[in-house]
Each structure stands twice: as structure tokens, then as C-alpha cells.
Homo-oligomer: A and B are copies of this chain.
Amino acid sequence: MLDTPPETADMRMAAMAKALSHPARLRILRLLARTPGCIGGDIVEAVGLAQSTVSEHLRILKDAGVIEGQIDPPRVCYSLCPGALRPLSDLIAALDVIQPETGCCIVPSHPEG
């Protein structure tokens, strides 16, 4: 039912950014980075939301490829996918590089025909 829908690179990038666009999810990511191993439902306690809500956030992160879950029944052990966010930081770096220090407009005058 999903014959490779027109998913552009920007769409993937946008989806990745969207995964980071909620405080609870940032919390989760930091928690996962912090933890020496990986955790299960402790995340629920850490973020202070309902279990179902946290599960949804985890799904979003998983769908975005930012985290992955390793099953250890009946738990699931979540962890970061190391290089997953690299493209995003690369984009940010690229944007900054090209725009060095020029305050703003270089051509404030309008070159009319």
C-alpha cells in the first residue's frame, strides 16, 4: 500500500527534526544517552506522562530512526541509534558555514529591470 511514496530527502530530514520537536522526546533522548545501559519503562517515570503517551513518543522516535528497541521480554530495551542524527547536524553545519558573518543583506538595492 506504500509504493515508495514521493519521500524526498527533505522529508526524511524534516521527520528527523520533528522527532526532536517535543520536550518529552528530548528528555527521552537525553535519558538514553545518559544511561550506561538502556532502560525500559523507567522512561515513563522519568518523563512523568502516562505510559501510553510515552509509548507513543517512543514510537515516533523509533519511526524516525533515532532510537531502536531491543526486546528483552517482557520489556523492551531502548537505545540511541548512534549516527542517526548526523544528517541533521550536517545540514545545520552547512547552513552556518555558507553564511559566515555577513550581517544580512548584501544587495539591499533592488536591481530593477
Binding site for B on A (CB under 8 A): 8, 10-11, 13-15, 17-23, 25-27, 29-30, 32-34, 36-38, 68, 70, 72, 75, 77, 79-80, 82-83, 85-86, 88-89, 91-96, 98-108, 110
User: Do residues B104 and A95 form an inter-chain contact, with CB atoms below 8 A?
Assistant: no
User: Do residues A104 and B77 form an inter-chain contact, with CB atoms below 8 A?
Assistant: yes
For A70, list chain B residues within 8 Å (CB): 104-105, 108
User: Do residues B10 and A14 form an inter-chain contact, with CB atoms below 8 A?
Assistant: no
CA distance A14 to B17 in the complex (A): 9
User: Do residues A68 and B38 form an inter-chain contact, with CB atoms below 8 A?
Assistant: no
CB-CB nearest in chain B for A81: B99
A89 to chain B, nearest CB (A): 4
A12 to chain B, nearest CB (A): 9
Interface-centre pick from A18, A27, A75, A104 (highest chain B CB count, 10 A): A104
A107 to chain B, nearest CB (A): 4
For A38, list chain B residues within 8 Å (CB): 104-107
A42 to chain B, nearest CB (A): 11
